[in-house]
Chain A
Amino acid sequence: MMPHAAEFIFPNDMNGVAWTVMIVLYPYITGLVAGAFVVAALYHVFNFKVFAPVARFALAASFSFAAFATLPLLLHLHQPQRAFFIMFMPNFTSAMAGFGFIYSFYLTLLAVEILLVFRSDIVAMANEKGVKSLLYKALSLGVLRETAKSKEIDQKWIHVLSIVGIPGACVLHGYVGFIFGGIKANPWWSTALMPVIFLSSAIVSGVAMLILLYVIISKMRRVSVDDECLRVMMKLLWLFLILAVTLESLETLNMAYEAGEEWHMIHRLITEKLRFSFIYVQLLIGSAIPFVLLLIGWMKKIGPRTRVTLGTISSLLVLIQVLSMRFNVVIGGQMLSKSFRGFVDYIPEWHGREGIFVAIGVFTLPFILLTAVSQILPVWKVDAHDH
């Protein structure tokens, strides 16, 4: 093909990108759900007793994020009042059609698991006097008595739900990746690696969020951070960060090496349009620096205070990394006009239904819910047998 100089984008691209910052937020929040759940599941299923201090909180966090995972989508739809069509008349050849079902299933699973994990506390508080007990009576779903046998059954179910929840989390997030990966029209998206990339970065973001919240809330509660718990979480984060970054880079490297027709534009996309968010933020600040910090941080020789500092900084950077990765995929992909002769401009909108202010508002909601859940349920209590 001959070289071409002038930029040309298809006329309908001149109005900007069709998927906005809300579609960046949607996989970001969903990722946090999946990631936080993994920590809880490692504790319940794989016996990672070291996570006992955060196991309950992880579940509560996962639930709080899940509760708002659909909100960005609703805000994005141009006909939000028809949102339920996706469940009533799904077209199953669409990767998006399964969303309603997978999401509802997962949210229910999380809610049930939380009720089971906190059952003893709920029952105890439901049996107390006062107005407050009414709330716990409702949460107890009518079960106001516990026996050794019932506790045993609950434990069994928690185990089962955690086991089901692991592939559930993989499907939930892998599927989000497939929404992009299955679009052959867009070479920046179209790769079978996309679901795995999304999944690994989801776990990364979830674990990082847990570390950050654990450290901050411990400080606020004036309790000390469990050093071993933090250390292992940092190790886990380090591992998954390597996996995520390797996969993300592999995809790009492979495209560069094959240097197919689309590489010419993708190269420009990365080095010109996404230079800041991809090279500087996603790769350097968000990946390389935390890689080193986490590596130092999970070593046994490091003192607890340094570990807390390293954990906090690296988690924050990793959270930024994942957000920028979502941005680079979702917005970056759309910057590539299907004419492959020019780029679509992305001008972030501040106000309006899909604006950045609303996005920030949406992102604070899970934290408000999490605060409420923490008031109602003893999320920091460590299971008796793991004390």
Chain B
Amino acid sequence: MSCCDKKGAKDTCCETKHEPTGVMDASESRREFIWDAVKNFTFGALTLTAIPIFIEKADAEEVHTDKDGKEKTGHTVLFGYLVDTTKCIGCGGCMLACKKENDVPDGEFRTWVERYVYYKDGSVRVDVNLKGSFAFTELPPIDKETVEKSFFVPKLCNHCTDTPCIQVCPVGASFKTKEGVVLVDYEQCIGCAYCVQACPFGTRFINTKTQTADKCTWCYHRIQHGEKPACVDVCPTGTRTFGDINDPESEISKTLAENRIDVLKSYLGTRPKTRYIGLTAEVV
């Protein structure tokens, strides 16, 4: 089952009995997606630009009904992810955990941690931890004399609601599950890299092992069984929160409700479901 994440996927994620309510079998969702695309094409011949809006409207309404009404029974799960940058210490443990969990090749990244350093002369510099263990090597050590402030920003796929990556995939290999998780069907992907170009956040890459598009799956093979993504599990400071944003009682919903929330590159209108606390205008 190609939807499943590579490592250990075969024996876990294809079982359906543990799936949370509303979780759809990936092939089913893919079929549905392709069917959606066909339907939308007819419609889209007239209003091409309206296609993505049209697809996502349905999702948005679902979310709304669930939040406003019904008990948990029968509610549609919609996963979300929250990064509280004010808590991140830049250790890079998340990156190492991800690499191990998902067998990510060297030099390719499903997640990483950026460091923003604001100097007193007004300049802002950014570097990145690619090796874990606080390994920021690009910039000189922080010097209190010259540096005004500094913070870390972990990055990963935003699992956008209006996804340019799914929009451009010529064969429908990029798709979204009912719970809002954006995945790549590794057995359908032709490796054209169009999605790599279309993702504004640099989160996609061509995996040199699988020769297909790849990116963060929010550890789909884990979350199907109620586990958390590896990065969330391993983070020592609680920077990363994951959960059902349709469930008002979930930890993530509560934190979202209590804080000022931002997303990356909001001007592009992709409506990310990975959200942030503590972004500044300089964060790209």
Q: Which residues of A contact B (CB under 8 A)?
A: 1-6, 8, 10-15, 18-19, 73, 76-80, 82-83, 85-86, 89-97, 99, 179, 182-186, 334, 337-341
Q: Answer yes or no: B135 CB below 8 A from chain A CBs.
A: no
Q: Is the CB of A2 within 8 A of B192?
A: no
Q: Across the two chains, which residue of chain B brings its CB closest to A83?
A: B190
Residues of A within 8 Å of B169, CB to CB, are: 91, 94
Residues of B within 8 A of A339 (CB): 126, 202, 284
Residues of chain B from 184 to 235 with CB closer than 8 A to chain A in the complex: 188-194, 196-206, 211-212
Of A11, A18, A182, which one neighbours B206 at CB under 8 angstroms? A18
State how many angstroms separate the Cβ of B282 from the closest Cβ of chain A: 6
Q: Mark B120-155, 1 if CB is under 8 A from A, else 0.
A: 001111111010000000110000000000000001
Are A82 and B108 touching (Cβ within 8 A)? no
Q: List 18 A-B contacts (CB under 8 A).
A: A1-B282, A4-B124, A4-B125, A11-B109, A11-B128, A12-B202, A15-B107, A77-B190, A91-B34, A91-B171, A92-B38, A93-B52, A93-B166, A93-B167, A182-B168, A184-B164, A185-B200, A185-B268
Known contacts: A91-B169, A184-B200. The answer to whether A85 contacts B126 by CB under 8 A is: no
Q: Shortest distance in angstroms between A142's beta carbon and chain B's nearest beta carbon?
A: 38
Bound: A37/B144 CA distance, A: 67
A334→B197 contact, CB < 8 A? yes
Give, as a whole number of angstroms, the nearest-CB distance from A326 to chain B: 15
A183 close to B168 (CB less than 8 A): yes
With an 8 Å Cβ cutoff, the count of chain B residues facing the other chain is 59
With CB as the reference atom, state the residue of chain B lying closest to A330.
Answer: B197
**Per-residue interface assignment for chain B, residues 87 to 127, with 1 indicating a CB less than 8 Å from any chain A CB and 0 otherwise:** 00000000000000000000111001010001000111111
- Distance in angstroms from A241 CB to nearest chain B CB is 29
CB distance from B211 to the nearest CB of A (A): 4
Least CB distance, A93 to chain B, in whole angstroms: 5
Q: Is B29 an interface residue (CB 8 A)?
A: no
Give chain A residues whose Cβ lies under 8 Å from the Cβ of B40: 92-93
Q: Would you call B168 and A96 a contact (CB within 8 A)?
A: yes
Closest to B188 in A: A85
From B125, B128, B281, contact of A1 by CB (8 A): B281
The 10 closest A-B pairs by CB, nearest first: A78-B191, A10-B202, A185-B200, A92-B41, A96-B170, A6-B125, A91-B172, A8-B126, A18-B193, A78-B211
Chain A nearest CB, measured from B53 CB (Å) = 11
Q: Which residue of A lies closest to B204 (CB)?
A: A12
Tell me which residues across on chain A come within 8 A of B1, comparing CB atoms.
Answer: none
Task: Given A89-B188, A90-B171, check contact A78 B212 (CB 8 Å).
Answer: yes
Q: Is the pair B52, A12 in contact by a Cβ cutoff of 8 Å?
A: no
Interface residues of chain B, those whose CB is within 8 Å of chain A, are 33-34, 37-38, 40-41, 44, 51-52, 107-109, 112, 114, 118, 122-128, 130, 138-139, 155, 164, 166-173, 188-194, 196-206, 211-212, 268, 281-282, 284
Q: What would 10 more interface pairs be, CB under 8 Å, given A11-B202, A82-B171, A339-B202?
A: A8-B114, A10-B202, A18-B196, A78-B192, A78-B211, A80-B190, A83-B190, A93-B44, A93-B166, A179-B194
The distance from the CB of B107 to the nearest CB of chain A, in whole angstroms, is 6
Give the distance in Å from the alpha carbon of A18 to the alpha carbon of B194 in the complex.
9
For B190, list chain A residues within 8 Å (CB): 77-80, 82-83, 85-86
Bound form: Cα–Cα A83–B109 in Å: 26
**Quick check: B202 and A338 within 8 Å, CB to CB?**
yes
A334-B281 Cα distance, complex, nearest whole Å = 24
Q: Is the CB of B170 within 8 A of A185?
A: no
Q: Tell me if B170 and A91 are in contact (CB < 8 A).
A: yes
Given that A78-B193, A89-B172, A92-B40 are known contacts, is A11 also in contact with B122, CB under 8 Å in the complex? no
Taking a contact as CB atoms under 8 Å apart, the answer to whether A12 and B203 are in contact is: yes
Q: Decide if B44 touches A92 in the complex (CB within 8 Å).
A: yes
CB distance from B11 to the nearest CB of A (A): 25
Q: How far is the CB of A163 from chain B (nearest CB, A)?
A: 22
Q: Which residues of A contact B130 (CB under 8 A)?
A: 11
CA distance A91 to B194 in the complex (A): 13
Whether A8 contacts B128 by the Cβ 8 Å rule is yes
B122: A residues at CB distance < 8 A = 2-3
Q: Which of chain A's residues have a CB closer than 8 A to the CB of B194?
A: 94, 96, 179
Name the distance in Å between B223's Cβ and chain A's nearest Cβ: 23
- Least CB distance from B50 to A in Å reads 11
Tell me the bound Cα distance from A90 to B188 in angstroms: 11
* B153 vs chain A, min Cβ distance (A): 11
Q: Please, which residues of chain B bring their CB within 8 A of the CB of A94?
A: 167-170, 194
